[in-house]
Chains A and B, each alone.
Chain A
Amino acid sequence: MSDAIAVGIDLGTSNSCVSVVTPSGRPLVIPNEWGETVHASVVGFLEGGAVLVGNEAKRRMADDPRNTVSSAKRIIGRYFFSEEVRRARERMPYEIVEGPNHSVRIKIRDQLYTVPEISALVLKEMKELASTHLSREVTHAVITCPAYFNDNQRQATRDAGRLAGLEVLRIINEPTAAALAYGYGKGLSQKVAVYDLGGGTFDISILELGDDVYEVLSTAGDTYLGGDDFDARIVDYLVARFRDRTGIDLRRNTWCMHRLKEAAEQAKILLSTEEVADVVVERICKDPSGKVLDLRDRITRQQFVTMVLDLVQRTFKVCDEALQAARLTASEIDAVVLVGGSTRVPIVREGVAHYFGKEPLGDIDPDHVVAVGAAIHAASLMGKEAGTVLLDVTPLPLRVATVGGFTEVVLEKNTPIPIERSKIFTTSRDGQEKVRIEVLQGESALAAECESLGSFEFSGFRKANRGEVEIEVVFEIDNNGIVNVTARDRETGKQAHTTLRLSSGLSAEEIEEKARRIQGVRLARGTG
């Protein structure tokens, strides 16, 4: 194991990035053959079976929207009936269908793919470009996920790594990785806030950095808030103005909307450095008489600020919550680390500086910082670095369902991991042979508003009168933030048999079968 190469991979909603710690101890962000270090998390299924991943796939998205999958991370580890999947089905040009056990499948050219398979193709691209650059087969990786990811999403992310042929050393939280990159080799003793505004999600983590121990004090997030929402505001504005001028509703055509989204994203990026952005989308549609129309508009930075101000303010509500949980005030934070491309937006930086009363750090590239942190942790797990001990927390309360559609908390959010907590259940009928327990994660006391992790059925304990058998159920959250549940008869100590009833995850056999499929895929090389 010691001579194997382990990389850190930031598997993002919009972009991914891969990094490694070189033998000299310096973190390196690995470029592809065109010198690009940030790769679009876009997977294009080409005719003939090859698959194109990255920026080239993103550029070709408009030409083949139905066979190009973007933002798969938004729906990874989600049930088909979830709000996220409903939204994706509305917005995404590729076909999303229902699989077994309420799972999600993506249908491309009559082939069905699970969401982890799509993410696995992005990871495979990262693995291959790292292997090419290092002239060595990369076998191990630390993969990051948003701090706010629940158990289902974490498991699905880990599955994606396995499908890509990687030994997943650890799933770590993006803000925690960023803090590692920030503190690496500096020997700091500070309280740090990591403000992570990505394409699709917002995370904030508060950490206490000591010499060689980093403790996450709290984490909070919003999985429905990111740079894509900024783009959507610009799109709304452009669509409304175009309708006022021409009477044509561009929303009816997914191709138009796709081109508009691209233009909106470019305008947003331009407005990070310029005061004014001109938006031009040529030949966007035809009017009723058949005349081809262009969309030409202009957005000022001030207009853009007005469009997104409420979104930026929403992030500070989440910051309030995280600080409160860490028992700190904004002024007690020594440093603020920015993560995610959306933190390039000036109003976001200004807002952060104002909220914390200090300028956020600008020395690390917000697109690289997470991958670099993951690479540092990977090197430390491989025993190549002295290593910092990471003490992370669980982002969501772990619950069990009770009667009447309610739940009870087993482990509060912001509880340090790895941890176990047991709960004693007693049988409520004479001779009862089974106990079924539904495990959930979420903020709400109502089961329907939480994410179900599965329904466990325990059997095999002795038969006795009601209330006589005490079953100790142990809930464990491991270092990856992944939940395990076991049970035993408290008196005899006998382990109960467990069956997991509801789960959208992949079985061991499915992973093996799909791993063969993914490893057989030929990755096309773009033209740069």
Chain B
Amino acid sequence: MDAAFRVEVETLASILDHLDYFQILELEPGATYRDIKIAYHRKSRIFHPDRFLGHADGDFVAKVLAIHKRITEAYTVLRDEQSRRQYEERISGPERELHLRWTLQQEEPPAAEEGIGTTEKGRKLYGAALAELAAGRLEAAERNLKMALVFEPNNPHYARKAEEVARLRRASLLAGSLSST
């Protein structure tokens, strides 16, 4: 293997966490969908781990894989207009360093987590509220959450969800009144 390529992999792997997705794919800020796709193909040709399967140096192969995964990640986020817009906003803000990678925030506590509710009634009502929410019945969801808060007035998950549902309901009421006029 080419010594220059080895150096490229070592360097890139060491600075990977400090690059944004445009830098990873070597794209200009205004890159089009087509540009993004071409860059993804070009980079994959160079860094696809299949090219190094069975290579003796495991550490080197792991670095190639890490680079290729980041290339794929960059492509996935940038090719979608909505996520690209959000990403561009995040990386041009003051907390740029924290947002170089697309990371999901926990929206709901994990299911197997204890301590979501301290009372059985509260948990049940919360579960029912989520079911109503998923079915699009906002009013019923809000009612269930208010009941859940009666049993556990200080539960932050319930309160946060109740606020969110109330907001959704106001928005839908507004949309309804606009369309009826």
Contacts and interface: CB of A to CB of B under 8 A. Distances in A.
A438 interface: yes
A380 B54 CA distance: 12
A419 B73 contact: yes
A210 interface: yes
Contacts of A401: 110-112
A391 B132 CA distance: 39
Nearest to B106: A425
A500 B127 CA distance: 26
Interface string B40-56: 11001100111101100
A422 B126 contact: no
A447 B111 contact: yes
Interface string B13-53: 00000000000000000000000010011001100111101
A218 B176 CA distance: 37
Given A213-B45, A422-B101, A479-B49, A416 B72 contact: yes
A424 B50 contact: no
Residue from the set B53, B113, B128 with the largest chain A CB neighbour count within 10 Å: B113
A445 B69 CA distance: 27
Contacts of A404: 111, 126-131
A445 B129 CA distance: 15
A421 B127 CA distance: 27
Contact of A419 (B37, B76, B112): B76
Interface residues of B, number: 43
A424 B106 contact: yes
A402 interface: yes
Q: Is the interface of A mostly helix, strand, loop or mixed?
A: strand
Contacts of B128: 404
Given A420-B73, A421-B73, A435-B113, A389 B106 contact: no
Nearest to B161: A403
Contacts of B107: 402, 408
B134 A406 contact: yes
| Most chain A beta carbons < 10 A, residue from B68, B104, B123 | B104
A234 to B, nearest CB: 41
B56 to A, nearest CB: 9
A406 B65 contact: no
A400 B107 CA distance: 11
A215 B43 CA distance: 13
Contacts of A455: 112
A403 B105 CA distance: 16
B147 interface: no
Interface in B70-116: 72-73, 75-76, 101-116
A391 B49 CA distance: 11
B44 A391 contact: yes
B69 A419 contact: yes
Contacts of B45: 212-213, 389
Nearest to B48: A389
A435 B110 contact: yes
Contacts of A435: 110, 113
Given A402-B109, A479-B50, A416 B76 contact: yes
A66 to B, nearest CB: 41
B93 to A, nearest CB: 18
Residue with the highest number of chain B CB atoms closer than 10 Å, among A380, A390, A400, A447: A400
A421 B40 CA distance: 18
A169 B53 contact: yes
B39 to A, nearest CB: 12
Contact of B54 (A1, A421, A428, A472): A1
Contacts of A215: 37, 40-41
A405 interface: yes
Interface in A381-405: 381-383, 387, 389-391, 400-405
B109 A418 contact: no
Given A423-B105, A424-B105, A387 B110 contact: no
A429 interface: yes
B113 A410 contact: no
Contacts of B112: 401, 436-438, 455
A228 interface: no
A485 interface: no
Contacts of A447: 111
Contacts of B134: 406, 445
A424 B126 contact: no
A400 B113 CA distance: 12
Given A406-B130, A479-B50, A418 B108 contact: no
Interface of A: 1, 169-170, 210, 212-213, 215, 380-383, 387, 389-391, 400-406, 408, 410, 415-426, 428-429, 432, 435-438, 445, 447, 455, 472, 476, 479
Given A383-B54, A390-B50, 9 more contacts: A382-B54, A383-B53, A389-B51, A406-B131, A421-B102, A421-B103, A425-B110, A428-B157, A432-B115
12 contacts: A389-B44, A389-B48, A389-B51, A402-B111, A405-B131, A406-B134, A417-B72, A422-B103, A423-B104, A428-B157, A436-B110, A472-B103
